[in-house]
Amino acid sequence: MTDATTLACPVPASRYDRVVLGHGSGGTLSLSLLRDIFLAAFDDLALHRLEDAAVLGAPPPGARIAMTTDGFVVTPAVFPGGDIGVLAVAGTVNDLAVSGARPAYLTAAFVLEEGTPLELLRTVARSMAETARRAGVAIVAGDTKVVERGKGDGVFITTTGVGWVPEGRSLSSSAARPGDKVVVSGPLGDHGIAVLSVREDLGFDTELVSDVAPLTGLVEAALEACPTIRCMRDPTRGGLASALTELAEASDVGVVLDEAALPLRPAVRAACELLGLDPLYVACEGRFVAIVPEADAPRLLEALRRHELGRDAAIVGSVTELHAGRIALDCITGGKRWVLRLAGEQLPRIC
Binding residues for Mg ion, rule: CB under 5 A, are 95, 234
Sheet with 254-258: list strands edge to edge. 231-233, 289-292, 181-184, 314-320, 254-258, 327-330, 336-339
Q: Which is nearer to Mg ion, 46 or 74 (CB)?
A: 74
Q: How far is the CB of 181 from Mg ion (least distance, A)?
A: 20
Query: Closest Cα to residue 351, out of 275, 259, 286, 283?
Result: 283
Burial class (CB in 10 A: 0-12, 13-18, 19+), 321: exposed
Q: How far is the CB of 71 from Mg ion (least distance, A)?
A: 13
- Three-class secondary structure of residue 182 per DSSP: strand
Q: Which amino acid is at 197?
A: S
Q: Which is nearer to Mg ion, 180 or 234 (CB)?
A: 234
Q: How far is the CB of 98 from Mg ion (least distance, A)?
A: 6
Q: How far is the CB of 116 from Mg ion (least distance, A)?
A: 27
Whether the CB-CB separation of 215 and 97 falls below 8 Å is answered with: yes
Q: Which is nearer to Mg ion, 95 or 190 (CB)?
A: 95
Q: Which is nearer to Mg ion, 215 or 267 (CB)?
A: 215
Q: How far is the CB of 233 from Mg ion (least distance, A)?
A: 6
Cα Dmax for the chain:
74
Residue 236, number of CB atoms within 10 A of its CB = 25
- Alpha helix (H) ranges present in 106-212? 118-135, 190-197
Q: Which is nearer to Mg ion, 187 or 238 (CB)?
A: 238
Q: Which is nearer to Mg ion, 234 or 296 (CB)?
A: 234
Q: How far is the CB of 243 from Mg ion (least distance, A)?
A: 7
